[in-house]
Structure 1
Amino acid sequence: MKLTRMMGMAAALSLLMAGMQAQISLPSVFADHMVLQQKSEVPVWGWGDASATVKVVGSWAPKDTATATVRSDGSWDTTLKTAAAGGPYTLSVLGNGNCELKDVMLGEVWLCSGQSNMEWTPMANIDNRDEEIAAADYPNIRFFHIPKRGAATPQNNCEASWATCTPDVMKNTSAVAYFFGRDLQKDLNVPIGLIVSAWGGTPAEVWTPEELVMDNPRLRDAMPDKTYPWWPVEPGVLYNQMINPVTPYALAGAIWYQGESNRDHPDSYGILMKTMIESWRKSFKKDFPFYLVQIAPFTYNAGDNGAALVREHQEWVARTVPGCGMVAISDCVADLKNIHPTDKQSVGLRLANLALGKTYGRLESGFESPVFEGMTVNKNKAVISFLHADNGLMCKEKQIVGFRIAGEDGVFEPAKAQIKENTVVVSSPKVKNPVMVQYCFDDATVGNLFNKEGLPVAPFRTDRNWDNE
């Protein structure tokens, strides 16, 4: 009798201890209202009891079950095949305790990151703010907005949740991300998931794994001299807390609006961005497309031309890093003393069109700004040719502004520019033998030269040595 009682007590204690063990849990990016990348093998991961078996099943294919065994450190991961866009579905995770996620959509997922112009919300002031907010009722657009926090070491979770796009949600999240997602959703007619991870005033180093910055002398030497307890400037601190927790969530791609905070050390910006992009792709286990916004004109009153050099490096990234692209927005600035242009609609639209052209093949042309291709000299005139200007160029005013020309002495003079089909002929009576030409290559000059599709020519200088990066 005593033995039976003792065995019963042991069994009860065993059940109690089992109940106290950690049950299956998921990172916050797996939650109700989430969007999973369609037609993919999407990573799913979490935590549980060591050696336990975890099963994952989506209601879009209830007979297909992905399994994983929990490792000794309590982590597990697997991949689950997703169907074509649609929903709502459920995602069930079965193990020591079951978890069912509801209102799960299959569609296109984009990471939206950068500094203040990506963080900028409609409530912070955008064009047609009230009308845009009132119209922001898109049940098939979902936001996952990561809080602004840094960490000294890589973190595996963050405090965020998925939210369906309503006026109240939209007005307090990234305006650029919203307009990008809205225009994608209208064209593709599929659910859109937008992971917003942005923090104003941050340099690109903080979004890059620390060791990749510190192990590269060129990047390490460009780091700020001062640190602040209230502001993230140390390498890797935002990657650790605002990127790593959602890796390797399946993405369609990433959009990026940043660069203003790297003006003090522009010469290393291109290599820094290449390093960051490659690290993100490695972390997400996919060579996803990466589309960036070239920083806009603004009266920095700088003496080192840092803004122009950052723009140049942004173009270098778009030209040389596979799967990258760039949108120019110099014409979207109404006030050169406002570093946050209020026309976020055009920025989102251009990013969406870039994705529709380069990622989805929905547009054949007209989604990339003209960029400098080459210069030839005909007597005392320089003839400039461009990429992405096959249908010709146009000026919206009587005279083209922003061109300067120099001879062998390197002294630049204001230049006259004339459109000739898809080239521009540049000259000055003060320069008999042209050697170099610049276009809007300074802090704040707003050009007025466009391709026939209405996209602005990106600023440039003809003496840039792309091989010397």
Structure 2
Amino acid sequence: MKRTPIVFSTCLLLAGLLFTGFETAAQLRLPAILSSGMVLQQNESVTFWGWAGPSEKVYVTTSWNNRTDSAVVSNMATWKLKVMTPGAGGPFTITIKSRNTITLSDVMVGEVWVCSGQSNMEWSYYNGTSDIAPDFPSANNKNIRLFHVPKTAAVYPQDDVKASWTACDSNTIKSFSSVGYFFGKKLQQELNVPIGIINASWGGTPAETWTPEETIKQDPLLSSAAIQLNSFPWWPSAPGQAYNGMIAPLANFSIAGAIWYQGEGNTTNNSSYHQLFTRMIDSWRQAWGKLLPFYYVQIAPFKYGRTNEGALLQEQQTLTMTHPKTGMVVVSDLIDSVTNIHPSRKKPVAERLANWALADTYGQTGINYKSPVLISATREKDKMILRFSNAPGGLQINGNEAAGLYVSGDQEEWFPAKARVKNDVMTVWSPLVKQPRHVRYGFGNTVVGNISSSEGLPIVPFRTDNWKVAQDPIN
């Protein structure tokens, strides 16, 4: 008879615990990227979303217009609504209310960019970038906000990340992407609006892991190429895993565009990179529901393990310039050594990316931001005549004579070539080739050219032939 009260009390206790757990689970919650100190994309219908008790109502009030928008929580305990942002400004306050209330303070409105890729995008002061320390005394800038996504791989798309927004200062930039910081700094200076930079990068990762798995599976070429990737203990290589953990959780958050520095992780399966990269770009654009501007860095010369594998990857990146709303930065003139896969100077790389954004996305004029590109090659007697676009002030040879330039006749034998330039025309020849047929410039893992536009932008490496290129192991 004495057991009954105990059983009854235990049941009450369990019921109370269950109810308390339900109450906790039903609390209004937001993803980490929607937090105090964030930057929202200006003049856009941005998404607010999160979790709360099913069938409850969530109210979002913004201080820039004191308007309240609302949404009903679904039976999956999720909610989502759109809010129109004003032009650049702040700080603002946003109140989200349901069973409990969350107040977001110090919210800025401006331009938001994602920076992603592998180690050259990830590289920070702590990794040895050489040109960021001089910025420490003047780095404090509350109009630049940083959001660092931790390295996270997942088999399925995730809905949140463990990170927080921080204001730019001499401490926060030390562990942040140097390319991302310098990119944001130049945009902030030129546009004079708050800038949000979201860094989602992971050294060593191939582009397959940043592409949704279904996109890879549906393409036989990409599926076959993905199998060729080596597995390493330091980063994921399976399709979609970095995308699921680091990009999918961001896709509801409105951004202006993306910058990308990657490719070294795909030199072993380089022949499919153009197709892979364009599919990846399109999958991101589909996730964000807009034609995101996408500006990227061509990989630098480096002593890879097989001949020409880096050059062929560069060639694939060049092909991607034909994809809508993309732009490529060439950095062959910014390397320290062809034995260092991580060139230490990140500021000029970032500023070239920023110039693409300023001119192409924001419509600023008077910016020379495109590297010269070969548009035609014809033979005149014993010389090749090459013409280039994107050289408004003409071409220049930076040194006593051209470097990285080769010419061949019909026999596929390549000889160092000489060149002279006038305006946007380059004349190429070799005394060893009486009837030249093809020209290569900057083509090879460690071949570094020295020809640029008069504005200082290196010409895009090229070859005029389509001959099969050897990729033999280097002893």
If the TM-score is normalised by the length of the shorter chain, which range does it land in? Answer: over 0.9
Q: Helix, strand or coil: the match of 1:264?
A: helix
Q: Does 1:23 align with 2:27?
A: yes
Distance (whole Å) between structure 2 residues aligned to residue 364 and residue 66 of structure 1: 42
Q: Does 1:139 align with 2:142?
A: yes
Query: 5+ unaligned residues in a row in structure 2: which ranges?
Result: 1-11, 468-475
Paired position in structure 2 for 1:218: 221
Distance (whole Å) between structure 2 residues aligned to residue 226 and residue 131 of structure 1: 39
Distance (whole Å) between structure 2 residues aligned to residue 96 and residue 54 of structure 1: 8
Give the TM-score normalised by the residue count of structure 2: 0.92
- Give the aligned residue type for 1:120: W
Paired position in structure 2 for 1:38: 42
Q: Deviations over 1:88-136 (max 9, x none)?
A: 0012212221211110000100000000000000122122443223332
Distance (whole Å) between structure 2 residues aligned to residue 331 and residue 78 of structure 1: 47
Query: 5+ unaligned residues in a row in structure 1: which ranges?
Result: 1-8
Q: Does 1:190 align with 2:193?
A: yes
Query: CA 1:246/1:110 → structure 2, altered by over 3 Å: closer, same or farther?
Result: same
Distance (whole Å) between structure 1 residues aligned to residue 427 and residue 230 of structure 2: 47
Q: Does 1:70 align with 2:73?
A: yes
Q: Helix, strand or coil: the match of 1:389?
A: coil
Paired position in structure 1 for 2:114: 111
Paired position in structure 1 for 2:245: 241
Paired position in structure 2 for 1:391: 393
Paired position in structure 1 for 2:7: none
Match of 1:372 among 371, 374, 384: 374
Query: CA 1:192/1:464 → structure 2, altered by over 3 Å: closer, same or farther?
Result: farther
Q: Is the contact between residue 132 and residue 347 of structure 2 (CA under 8 Å) also seen in structure 1?
A: no
Match of 1:287 among 274, 285, 291: 291
Residues matched between the structures, number: 452
Q: Is the contact between residue 442 and residue 462 of structure 2 (CA under 8 Å) also seen in structure 1?
A: yes
Q: Deviations over 1:398-446 (max 9, x none)?
A: 1111111112222221111110211100111222222211001001122
- Give the aligned residue type for 1:232: P
Match of 2:177 among 154, 174, 192: 174
Q: Is the contact between residue 33 and residue 105 of structure 1 (CA under 8 Å) also seen in structure 2?
A: yes
- Give the aligned residue type for 2:370: E
Q: Does 1:206 align with 2:209?
A: yes
Paired position in structure 2 for 1:356: 358
Identity of aligned residues (%): 43
Aligned-pair distance for 1:383? Answer: 0.8
Q: Does 1:100 align with 2:103?
A: yes
| CA RMSD between the two structures | 1.9
Distance (whole Å) between structure 2 residues aligned to residue 141 and residue 464 of structure 1: 46
Distance (whole Å) between structure 2 residues aligned to residue 159 and residue 461 of structure 1: 45
- Give the aligned residue type for 1:422: D
Distance (whole Å) between structure 1 residues aligned to residue 426 and residue 20 of structure 2: 80
Q: Is the contact between residue 202 and residue 235 of structure 2 (CA under 8 Å) also seen in structure 1?
A: no
Aligned-pair distance for 1:17? Answer: 8.3
Distance (whole Å) between structure 2 residues aligned to residue 25 and residue 154 of structure 1: 19
Q: Is the contact between residue 122 and residue 133 of structure 1 (CA under 8 Å) also seen in structure 2?
A: no
Distance (whole Å) between structure 2 residues aligned to residue 335 and residue 408 of structure 1: 33
Distance (whole Å) between structure 2 residues aligned to residue 262 and residue 213 of structure 1: 14
Aligned-pair distance for 1:338? Answer: 1.1
Paired position in structure 2 for 1:269: 273
Distance (whole Å) between structure 2 residues aligned to residue 118 and residue 229 of structure 1: 20
Paired position in structure 2 for 1:258: 262
Q: Does 1:232 align with 2:218?
A: no
Q: Is the contact between residue 274 and residue 317 of structure 1 (CA under 8 Å) also seen in structure 2?
A: yes
- Give the aligned residue type for 1:243: I
Paired position in structure 1 for 2:309: 306
Q: Deviations over 1:348-368 (max 9, x none)?
A: 110111110101011344111
